[in-house]
Chain A
Amino acid sequence: MFNFGQWTAAFNSWLMGLGTPEWLGITIECVIIAVLILLTYTVLALFYILYERKLCAWFQCRLGPMRVGPWGLLQVFADMFKILIKELISLKDTDRFLFKLAPYILITSSVVMLACLPWGNGLQIINWNIGIFFVLAVSSVGVLGILLAGWASNNKYTLIGAMRSGAQMVSYELSLGLSIITIIVLSGTMNINDIVLEQANGWFIFKGHIPAIIACIIYIIAATAETNRGPFDLPEAEHELTAGYHTEYSGIHFGFFYLAEYLNLFIVSGIASLMFLGGWMPLHIPGWDGFNAVMNWIPSIVWFIGKAFFISFVIIWFKWTFPRVRIDQMLAFEWKYLMPFSLANLLLMTLCVAFGWHF
């Protein structure tokens, strides 16, 4: 399997070989990484917007964007140009500072999460021994942006949207965390890279069998709620609260919310693929060496992105199939069913690991 780490190491040694002082080298590398990550962020978000629009058209017997560019590929770029130069309305009687800060908090949290994802063999920006824990922590910062946006807009709709969002995120984070802990129990590590490497002889969804599959289902439900997507899109429930917490945002500030929503979708899908489907690890079946060798030919980055897109497809499928739940039903679902279930599942997984019932 090709290791992208070779490239980065080669670049590093070349940079140091030029006689640059260490602080300058690190700064240059950081800047390059930052530019790359922001670029990836934008391209991915744009791709996701088109992806969802095309998919939803497909579910609804429509064609979707097709007139701007070949197969409508340039549609999202037209949207981007427009939204970049659209007027930013500043409002009277609002908390200006918080109002403007909110979209940046949201987008920062999702960029940081993006940096933690294992893109491919050796393609990882932040690699800590508590990687997955860090991702969970940062993901909770995002809700702060939403709460601030709702509060600072001084609008009743946004406030209701923000409050709903707060209640939703706090609740579903529990199930999300518990299902991740279930996998951590199986892998025995919180280091993202090690989690991937653990799955070299089989993805966790196969190795952990029943508890892993349950955890996967719980994770996908909770992740749908975490990203505010249908059927849990209550914070921006279009038909109840016009546009929820971002009702008062225009121009690129709204664009940030829009991008962050789609990027969060990618990130939760990426984490799901990391936890359950082996991240960038190709499909390996122990004993089938020829098959494994063929799988290894496919670049690791393709594996990762492909798996993430697949899980996003499932989440998008939810959104365009199910009606929206009501706030009390949503909270009851989490606290009465999902959370006790994931606790029991954690226990089951612990037993599995303790008695070695897994593969």
Chain B
Amino acid sequence: MDTQVLGISVDSVPCLTAWAEDLGGIHYPLLSDFWPHGKVAQEYGVLRSEGHSERAIFVIDRQGIIRYVDVHNIDDQPSNEVLRRAIRRIDPTVRDRPEATKPEPVALPRGGIVMYCTRWCPDCKKARAWLAEHHLPYTEVDITTTPGAAEQVERWANGNRTTPTFDIDGEIVVDFDLQRLRQVLKLK
């Protein structure tokens, strides 16, 4: 597509760099609207009183005119398909590209302690340290890279992607809940 994607937030450049690295690299620019703080967000009318921006999409055409605006529920991710439709509507010359097919969910590990986590979540780090301290062997499932894992956690955690979430021989413990973990693992 003859389209440039730009991410933009009020984070500083080092913070965006660290985040992009953690996500395995982001190939489009993430712009830092850090100083003067949120100036661009303010000009586009999407700066919130908390000091960060809305989750919002502007599609700007080849002449620099705004052709599509979507201010999204701050907790939701806009879908790529909705965006592609919007871009095609304003510019039918952009080439169609099929949506990347979603990888089939793989069989998730079962038996023993299985911890659903991400690399960066602070409670996952605490949980790893706690498991090591108690010499408990466990299997990690990274929900950002394992197809189907995030959806599995959502089913267990009332629609939330809570990490860590544990599957301990079929007993589910949502969050790093020490009391529940001790109980399920029969620790003192």
Q: Do A and B come from one complex?
A: no
Q: Interface residues, chain B, CB within 8 Å of chain A?
A: none
